[in-house]
C-alpha cells in the first residue's frame, strides 16, 4: 500500500470517528414535537440556556408562552449528551403523567444516580414497591391530629426563639432574613424527624452547625451533577477529585451525625421511643424488621430533611420579600386579619405565593417505557418529561387572563369569603400532584403560616436596597432561594 492510500484511509477513519462522536454528542430531538426557538443542530439549546442562565426561569417561561400562543400543548428543549426533554403545558397532560400513567413515569436512573449519595433509597429517590412502603408508613406522620397536637407546638416554640433573636438586632442593622428562615426550618424539621433540638437559630449546639454546613454543601454539590455532563462528574467521583471529593467529605460528616442519632435511639427502650412521636420513631417501632435497618432509617430521615427544609425556607423568604417589597398593601391586610378569628387571607396569600413564586420551580419524570401522550404524541422510553410550576402557573390557558398577576383573592370562595377555594391538583402543581403529591403540603403551609403571623404581628421589615441593589437572582438548586440572601432591617411594631 502506498503512502497516499494509507493517508486517505487514516483521513477517512478520522472523519468517520469525528462524525460518530459528533452524532453521539449532538441532541436528538423526538419527531412530531415542536422544538423551542434558538435551537442549534450541534449544541441544541445549550448556548441559549448558557446566555440566560441567570434568568433561566424567565427565559423558559418565554418559551412556554410562545408555545401556548401557537396552541401547542408541549414543547421540546434539547441538550447535548442527554435524553430529549419535553415540557408539558396542560392540566390534561400533567394528570396523564402524574396520575393516569403513573407507572410509566418515574424518577428512573437519571434522577436516582445523581442523588443517591445524599438520599440513598429514600422516598424521594425511589419508584415502585420501595417508594410505596415508605409513603405508607410516613403518611402516619402527617395526620391532622399530629399536625394539631404536635407540629403546631414545634413551630410556635421555634417561632418564639426567632422572635427573641430579632429583638436582639438593633434597629437599622442589616441582616440576612433568608439565612434565619433556613435555620428555623432546619430546627423544625429535625425536631419533627428525630425529636432533636438542633437550635441552629441560636448556634447553641456546636456539632449541629458542622452537620448543617456539611448538609448544605452536599445538597448543593449533588445538584451540580444535574448541570455537568454525566461523564464529567462520574470521572471526578472515580478519581475522588474536585466537587466529588468535597461531596464525599461532606457526606462523611452528615452520615456520622445521622447514624449517631439512630444508634442512640436504638439503645432507648420502646416506651421512651413510643412517647417521642417523631418520624424516626415511627419507622423504628414498625413491625417489618426485615425492611428496617440503619441504612434505611438514614435514607428516610435525610430525605425528609431535604424535602421539608429548603422548600419551606424558600417559601418564607419569597413571602417576606413580596410582602415587604413587591406587594406592600398585603402587610396591613394581614395585620387587620389578626383581629378576626380566621386566617383565610393569609392562607390565600400563601397559596398565591406558591402559585406565582413556587419554591420548587421545576420538576421532572422519566418515561420508563415508550408511551403515547394524549393527542397521539409519541414519547420514547428515557425521554425526560419536565413540568414547571414557575411558567405553568403563569399560562393564561391554565389560570386565565390575569394569570401573571399576584391576586390572593382568587383563592377565596366567591360565595363564602370565610372559605378557601380548592383548585384541581393538576392546575396548581407547586406541591406536585397525583399519588406523589407532597406528603408535607399541609405541614409546610402550617409552618409558614405560624411563623409569618408571629413575625408580621410583632415586627415591620424593610428590604435593604441602600448598600447594594438587592439581587433577585435565584440559587441553582432544586429550590429557588435568593442567591445573595434577603438583606432586611427590622423594627418592633408599635400599635400591635
Ligand atoms: C413550601 C414547601 C414545600 C413545597 C413547595 C414542596 C413541594 C414538593 C414537590 C414539588 C414534591 C414532588 C417532588 C418529586 O417530584 O418527587 C414534593 C414531594 C415531597 N414532599 Fe414536599 N414540599 C414542601 C414541603 C414539604 C415538607 C415540609 C415536607 C415534610 C417534611 C415535605 C415532604 C415531601 C415528601 C416526603 C415528598 C415525596 C413524596 C413522594 O414522592 O411520595 N415537603 N414536595
Residues 6 or more apart in contact with residue 251 via CB below 8 angstroms:
117, 118, 214, 218
Residue 6 falls within a domain, yes or no?
Answer: no
Is residue 353 within 8 Å of 322, Cβ to Cβ?
A: yes
Residue 15 falls within a domain, yes or no?
Answer: no
Residue 3 falls within a domain, yes or no?
Answer: no
Residue 9 falls within a domain, yes or no?
Answer: no
Residues 6 or more apart in contact with residue 323 via CB below 8 angstroms:
330, 331, 334, 349, 456
Does residue 495 register a pLDDT over 70? no
Q: What is the pLDDT of residues 142-184, one digit of tens each?
A: 887 778 888 999 999 999 999 999 999 999 999 999 999 999 9
Q: Residue 280 has which C-alpha cell?
A: 424516626
The whole-number average pLDDT for the span 420-427 is 95
Mutate to test the pocket of ligand 1, among 126, 151, 278, 307 (most ligand atoms within 8 A of CB): 307
pLDDT class of 490 with cuts at 50, 70, 90 = very high
**Hey, is 101 helix, strand or coil?**
coil
Least-confidence region, from 110-114, 200-204, 331-335, 435-439? 200-204
Task: Please indicate whether residue 307, judged by its CB atom, sits closer than 6 Å to ligand 1.
Answer: yes
The cell 467529605 sits on which residue?
Answer: 249
Mutate to test the pocket of ligand 1, among 108, 150, 302, 311 (most ligand atoms within 8 A of CB): 311
| Distance in Å from the first CA to the final CA of the chain | 96
Give the Å distance between the CA of 29 and the centre of ligand 1: 31
pTM above 0.85, yes or no: yes
Report the binding-site residues: 438
**Hey, is 254 helix, strand or coil?**
helix
Task: Please indicate whether residue 363, judged by its CB atom, sits closer than 6 Å to ligand 1.
Answer: yes
Residue 422 falls within a domain, yes or no?
Answer: yes
Hey, which of 248-257, 274-283, 339-348 has the most confident mean pLDDT? 248-257
DSSP, residue by residue, 467-491: SS----PBPSSSS--BTT--EEEEE
Give burial (CB, 10 Å; 0-12/13-18/19+) of 459: middle
Q: What is the pLDDT of residue 273?
A: 65
The whole-number average pLDDT for the span 299-318 is 94
Atom in ligand 1 nearest the alpha carbon of residue 304: 30
Q: What is the pLDDT of residues 63-93, one digit of tens each?
A: 999 999 999 999 999 988 888 899 999 999 9
pLDDT class of 274 with cuts at 50, 70, 90 = low
Residue 286 falls within a domain, yes or no?
Answer: yes
Task: Please indicate whether residue 123, judged by its CB atom, sits closer than 6 Å to ligand 1.
Answer: yes
Average pLDDT, the chain: 91
Structurally, the chain folds into a number of domains equal to: 1
Nearest alpha carbon, ligand 1 atom 15: 363
Give the Å distance between the CA of 135 and the centre of ligand 1: 12
Q: Residue 218 has which C-alpha cell?
A: 452536599
Give the Å distance between the CA of 218 and the centre of ligand 1: 19
Task: Please indicate whether residue 359, judged by its CB atom, sits closer than 6 Å to ligand 1.
Answer: yes
Task: Please indicate whether residue 122, judged by its CB atom, sits closer than 6 Å to ligand 1.
Answer: no
Give the Å distance between the CA of 334 and the centre of ligand 1: 26
Structural domain range at position 406: 46-492
Least-confidence region, from 44-58, 165-179, 246-260, 382-396? 44-58
Residue 34 falls within a domain, yes or no?
Answer: no
Does residue 496 register a pLDDT over 70? no
Higher pLDDT, 476 or 217: 217
Give the Å distance between the CA of 14 and the centre of ligand 1: 50
CATH number of residue 476's parent domain:
1.10.630.10
Report the binding-site residues for heme: 438
Q: Which residues pair with 39 in a beta bridge?
A: none
Nearest alpha carbon, ligand 1 atom 3: 311
Q: What is the pLDDT of residue 203?
A: 73
The whole-number average pLDDT for the span 431-436 is 98
Q: What is the pLDDT of residue 291?
A: 76
Q: What is the pLDDT of residue 372?
A: 96
Residue 340 falls within a domain, yes or no?
Answer: yes
Q: What is the pLDDT of residues 202-254, one digit of tens each?
A: 876 777 889 999 999 999 999 888 877 788 899 999 999 999 999 999 999 99
Nearest alpha carbon, ligand 1 atom 12: 432
Amino acid at each position: 500500500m502506498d503512502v497516499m492510500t494509507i493517508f486517505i484511509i487514516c483521513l477517512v477513519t478520522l472523519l468517520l470517528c469525528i462524525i460518530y462522536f459528533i452524532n453521539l454528542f449532538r441532541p436528538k430531538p423526538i419527531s412530531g414535537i415542536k422544538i423551542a426557538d434558538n435551537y442549534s443542530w450541534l449544541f441544541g439549546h445549550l448556548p441559549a440556556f448558557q446566555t440566560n442562565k441567570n434568568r433561566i426561569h424567565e427565559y423558559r417561561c418565554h418559551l412556554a408562552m410562545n408555545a401556548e400562543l401557537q396552541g401547542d400543548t408541549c414543547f421540546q428543549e434539547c441538550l447535548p449528551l442527554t435524553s430529549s426533554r419535553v415540557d408539558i403545558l396542560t392540566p390534561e397532560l400533567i394528570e396523564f403523567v402524574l396520575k393516569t400513567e403513573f407507572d410509566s413515569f418515574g424518577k428512573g436512573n437519571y434522577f436516582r444516580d445523581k442523588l443517591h449519595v445524599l438520599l440513598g433509597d429514600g422516598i424521594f429517590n425511589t419508584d415502585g414497591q420501595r417508594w410505596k412502603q415508605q409513603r405508607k408508613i410516613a403518611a402516619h406522620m402527617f395526620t391532622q391530629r399530629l399536625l394539631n397536637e404536635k407540629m403546631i407546638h414545634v413551630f410556635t416554640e421555634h417561632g418564639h426563639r426567632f422572635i427573641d433573636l430579632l429583638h436582639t438586632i438593633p434597629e437599622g442593622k442589616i441582616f440576612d432574613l433568608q439565612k434565619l428562615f433556613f435555620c428555623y426550618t432546619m430546627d423544625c424539621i429535625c425536631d419533627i424527624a428525630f425529636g432533636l433540638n438542633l437550635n441552629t437559630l441560636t448556634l447553641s449546639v456546636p456539632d449541629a452547625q458542622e452537620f448543617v454546613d456539611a448538609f448544605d454543601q452536599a445538597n448543593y454539590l449533588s445538584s451540580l451533577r444535574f448541570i455537568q455532563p454525566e461523564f464529567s462528574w462520574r470521572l471526578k467521583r472515580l478519581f475522588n477529585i474536585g466537587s466529588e471529593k468535597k461531596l464525599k467529605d461532606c457526606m462523611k460528616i452528615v452520615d456520622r451525625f445521622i447514624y449517631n442519632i439512630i444508634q442512640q435511639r436504638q439503645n432507648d427502650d420502646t416506651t421512651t421511643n413510643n412517647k417521642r412521636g417523631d418520624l424516626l420513631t415511627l419507622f423504628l417501632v414498625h413491625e417489618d424488621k426485615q425492611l428496617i435497618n440503619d441504612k434505611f432509617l438514614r435514607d428516610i430521615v435525610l430525605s425528609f430533611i431535604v424535602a421539608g427544609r429548603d422548600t419551606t425556607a424558600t417559601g418564607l423568604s419569597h413571602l417576606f420579600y413580596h410582602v415587604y417589597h413587591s406587594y406592600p398593601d398585603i402587610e396591613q391586610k394581614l395585620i387587620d386579619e389578626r383581629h378576626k378569628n380566621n386566617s383565610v387571607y393569609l392562607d390565600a396569600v400563601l397559596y398565591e405565593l406558591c402559585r406565582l413564586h413556587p419554591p420548587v420551580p421545576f420538576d421532572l419524570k422519566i418515561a420508563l417505557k415508550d408511551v403515547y401522550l394524549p393527542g397521539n404524541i409519541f414519547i420514547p422510553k428515557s425521554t425526560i418529561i419536565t413540568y414547571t410550576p414557575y411558567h405553568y402557573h403563569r399560562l393564561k390557558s391554565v389560570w386565565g387572563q390575569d394569570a401573571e398577576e399576584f391576586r390572593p383573592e382568587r383563592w377565596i370562595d366567591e360565595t363564602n369569603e370565610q372559605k378557601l377555594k380548592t383548585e384541581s391538583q393538576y392546575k396548581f402543581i407547586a406541591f406536585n400532584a397525583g399519588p406523589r403529591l407532597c406528603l408535607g403540603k399541609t405541614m409546610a403551609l402550617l409552618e409558614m403560616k405560624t411563623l409569618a403571623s408571629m413575625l408580621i404581628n410583632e415586627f415591620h421589615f424593610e428590604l435593604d436596597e441602600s448598600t447594594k441593589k438587592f439581587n433577585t437572582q435565584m440559587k441553582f438548586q432544586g429550590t429557588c432561594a435568593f442567591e445573595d440572601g434577603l438583606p432586611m432591617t427590622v423594627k418592633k411594631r408599635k400599635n400591635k
